[in-house]
Amino acid sequence: AHQLTPAAHSHVDTDQGKFLLRIAGIDGLNNEAAAQALVGDTVHVPPLLHHAVHADTRCFVYRFIEGTSLQQRILEDGRCADGLLEQVAHAAAVIHSTPDESTVHLAQYDVPPYEVWYQAFLGHSAVQAKMGTGMLARANRLVADKAGFIPAVDQHHSLIHNDFRPANMLVDRQDRVWFVDWEGSWRGHTLADPGQFFRYRSFFS
């Protein structure tokens, strides 16, 4: 099982302007630079100015984007504005239509069939302890009720961001949405991205 390597972020002020420094471990999912190169001309991503590996860490320097997270914006406004939602949908469409041959140099991982995911996760003792008996029972009922849809998920694969949630999207002063944290992107289940985005049902009508 591959886990996202936690990354540290710092704002750096210099006489050349403000930059974002991101430091991540060398192990785990590290498709950040490669994925941004694939979509950077068609999706708003903070320009990656420098990428280097030092000892056991990867260092990324980006142009700093002034703004707030889409998650914070939704919480402040009480809803996700239609214009912002349209930008997210457009970006998802662009990401997911990336030609297969363009993704061959991304680090790939052995993703098990989707039909076994729920059994693997919901059967894990740590997950069971965190969810509690009531929520776990409701989740298992939901999975059983929707079992007929699960095979269809395996039929749709594409480039995905893989952490496509409002907290990883920045809204700048012109209400443009920027997409950050691409380290876990890879070729996976297309529906994972909208599933991540809409998982916080209180954010949406």
Q: Give Cβ neighbours of residue 74 (< 8 Å, ≥ 6 apart).
A: 80, 166, 203
- Residue 29's pLDDT is 58
- Residue 91's pLDDT is 97
Contact 98, 193 (CB under 8 A): no
- Residue 60's pLDDT is 87
Alpha-helical segments (H) within the chain: 32-39, 70-77, 82-96, 117-122, 125-145, 150-153, 192-197
Give the relative orientation of helices 82-96 and 70-77 as an angle to the nearest 10 degrees.
150
pLDDT means per 10 residues, the chain with 205 residues, are 51 86 74 87 92 85 93 92 96 95 81 82 94 95 91 89 95 96 89 91 80
- Residue 122's pLDDT is 92
Q: What is the CA radius of gyration of the chain?
A: 18
